[in-house]
Structure 1
């Protein structure tokens, strides 16, 4: 091997390694030495060896990059400590101050929105929002780096591209539901991870009142005649004449009937919820919630006498047939289990198709019940109780019926105006 001698860097390396020395060692290795700032922010001599210039270059660049990263992390940590000391931020145990927004939302749901503290339907709704809307957009963006402008940009994006099928934006109501999850999670992070809630002052799209599909009296008569060919006919009648929700009707057991008062007790709700990370691979599950949608949903509802008699007839048929019904359900499936709400929806849709009723779904039947009561001038508080609405504001949405009646009354007065046909009356001579 040649004697050790000074290695003169090429013009290429002279440019890259400005301020350093590159030479060939006796064993044939290239040596590069230079004074550089290390990860501890100390200016010292560093040495790199390699068989080729490429190896030396790689080692040097890796050192510089790593040292810069470590110094940056320490500076950031120092800044966090100063910020925490100044604003009193204190992350929960096991949570890093640099947690991503997505991970924080997941932590928030799994800590504060998990059964039994909330209903499984609420948990399922929050998790679905997290997995389909929040995680894909924010990814690993640090929570403490998100501004109110970022949040507003996100809501604007949902209005134009929020649909999962990428065919447009979400409705204002859907965007509001996503905002509820985000705002609650951000508010819980305030004072722990972040100083201010970036979702506190956002501009949400206005939720416009939607036109409720209600059966006319004539359509209602057609529908009632047609359902008597259905196995779930009594369930449909209860839905139409009590205003109960679909899950509330399908959850009814014979023990919920009061024969003396001719009433049904509504205190349960049947729902199909989405599952997350289920070991068996199931995507959804049918669950029975012991409490309905809200506290006011827990109620006792009168039943028309003729519908009561239909219920009693159905009871006798069940006892005679001897079909399995271990849970003593009023509307069991053919296997003796709870009837899936999807099955019920399909049967209602089939009836509407045969009747040629356009735009009618299960909820339209519930709306029809409330509308008929409003037309009969039933006090709104009574309607609220029968419908199980948590707020009377929800019930007041049916007041459009009264507006229609008032409009008809005003139109009847139009005959007194000049240029219109006046009502016949005696006139003085």
Structure 2
């Protein structure tokens, strides 16, 4: 064993021969116990500079009285315990499913899985993300990156790692091309679309989104108690979610829950045309109750033939079918909500009012929804005729 000269703050460094190579060992005093005995922290490695760097980090942490003992738990187990013990009760069930899916598909058997938290380095993470690129698209990799970063931030805040190694990791960025935005229907397209809706629960459901800007889950949950005769009160949503246990067992269940934010609870005035539609819809529901021995009356405004909640895929498929049948672009159900916002904006309704009607927490979200279409731009520019 040979002692070597060190710089101030490097602690004690010595060398050993391991496997025919020089191995560096270092120790630094981190505190003194009640008996005056020095408590020292040791590190080792084949690279002297790495050992020096780690000793200095220990010394800085000791000077600040924040020296921590990192976790011995392997990353996959740590991640699993984090999502089930910390995240599950704080986020929506649908969000938790995304975390659990990342664990099951891209972490549980990954190259990171068996690495101890205390040994986790940027090179391990970089290899993991590089490996994901061979199989998954960029959005999936970016989602995995964000969730792992969130987990490691938690670990650092709870003193289970010294620092977050993901800070030195790079992943591909999105293509610099303009991201495709959700687009509303033009007024002409919307008129054509509406003229092809039939007097059924499903088509009236779709019309309600164009008439109120309601989200699919909000319209699904509407009951006749939410209709005042001149407005619709939105204060709940219908969700299908999974209860996932730590052993991977999954149980699906349906629930009515409050909206994700207080601003989503709102009252939306409806037009005379919408009131007529609702009157027709009430007749449809009465006929279903009368003609079916198996109808369950949940007081829903838009029930299916048996009185159940309309499943989310049905309105989406129906919108697509109508668009294809009349040669319109294939709009999504959510783009009906954009269309509602755009029609209001075209009529001069202030963005702040549209924000309240849509139930957005942040007005910047509303500004994304409000799309000024090409025909509206042309009409606006035409006003300059005779002025310039």
TM-score normalised per structure 2: 0.72
More deviation, 234-243/328-337? 328-337
- Structure 2 gap segments, 5+ residues each: 1-40, 45-54
Say if 2:364 is the partner of 1:357: no
Matching residue of 2:252: 285
C-alpha separation between the residues in 1 aligned to 2:154 and 2:125?
16
Say if 2:305 is the partner of 1:334: yes
Say if 2:274 is the partner of 1:307: yes
Q: CA RMSD in A?
A: 3.4
C-alpha separation between the residues in 1 aligned to 2:265 and 2:167?
33
The CA deviation string for residues 214-242 of structure 1, in whole angstroms up to 9 with x for no partner, is 21222111110111154412111111121
1:49-68 matches, within 5 Å, as: none
1:311-330 matches, within 5 Å, as: 311-322=278-289, 323=292, 324-330=295-301
Say if 2:92 is the partner of 1:119: yes
Say if 2:77 is the partner of 1:98: no
The CA deviation string for residues 83-117 of structure 1, in whole angstroms up to 9 with x for no partner, is 799554367xxxxx2212222121111112224x3
The CA deviation string for residues 213-272 of structure 1, in whole angstroms up to 9 with x for no partner, is 32122211111011115441211111112111111101111111122xx12121222233
Measure how far apart 1:193 and its partner are.
1.4
The CA deviation string for residues 377-403 of structure 1, in whole angstroms up to 9 with x for no partner, is 211111111112221111111454179
Matching residue of 2:117: 143
Q: Quick check: 1:374–1:402 contact (8 Å CA) kept in 2?
A: no
1:22-421 matches, within 5 Å, as: 86=62, 87-89=66-68, 97-115=71-89, 117-137=90-110, 138-155=112-129, 157-158=131-132, 160-163=133-136, 169-171=137-139, 174-190=140-156, 191-200=158-167, 203=170, 205-206=173-174, 209-228=179-198, 230-259=200-229, 262-274=230-242, 276=244, 285-322=252-289, 323=292, 324-401=295-372, 405=376, 409-410=380-381
Measure how far apart 1:367 and its partner are.
1.4
Whose Rg is larger? Answer: 1
Matching residue of 2:20: none
C-alpha separation between the residues in 1 aligned to 2:242 and 2:357?
29
Secondary structure, counterpart of 1:265 in structure 2 = strand
Relative distance call for 1:258 and 1:180 in structure 2 (3 A) is farther
The CA deviation string for residues 403-428 of structure 1, in whole angstroms up to 9 with x for no partner, is 975576457769999xxxxxxxxxxx
Secondary structure, counterpart of 2:219 in structure 1 = helix
Secondary structure, counterpart of 2:166 in structure 1 = coil
Secondary structure, counterpart of 2:336 in structure 1 = helix
- Structure 1 gap segments, 5+ residues each: 1-76, 92-96, 164-168, 418-429
Matching residue of 1:48: none
C-alpha separation between the residues in 1 aligned to 2:150 and 2:198?
47
C-alpha separation between the residues in 2 aligned to 1:351 and 1:268?
28
Q: Quick check: 2:201–2:304 contact (8 Å CA) kept in 1?
A: no
Q: Quick check: 2:184–2:371 contact (8 Å CA) kept in 1?
A: no
C-alpha separation between the residues in 1 aligned to 2:364 and 2:169?
24
Q: Quick check: 1:380–1:396 contact (8 Å CA) kept in 2?
A: yes
Measure how far apart 1:179 and its partner are.
3.4
Q: Quick check: 1:268–1:288 contact (8 Å CA) kept in 2?
A: no
Measure how far apart 1:320 and its partner are.
4.3
C-alpha separation between the residues in 1 aligned to 2:385 and 2:324?
40
C-alpha separation between the residues in 1 aligned to 2:346 and 2:67?
58
C-alpha separation between the residues in 2 aligned to 1:179 and 1:295?
30
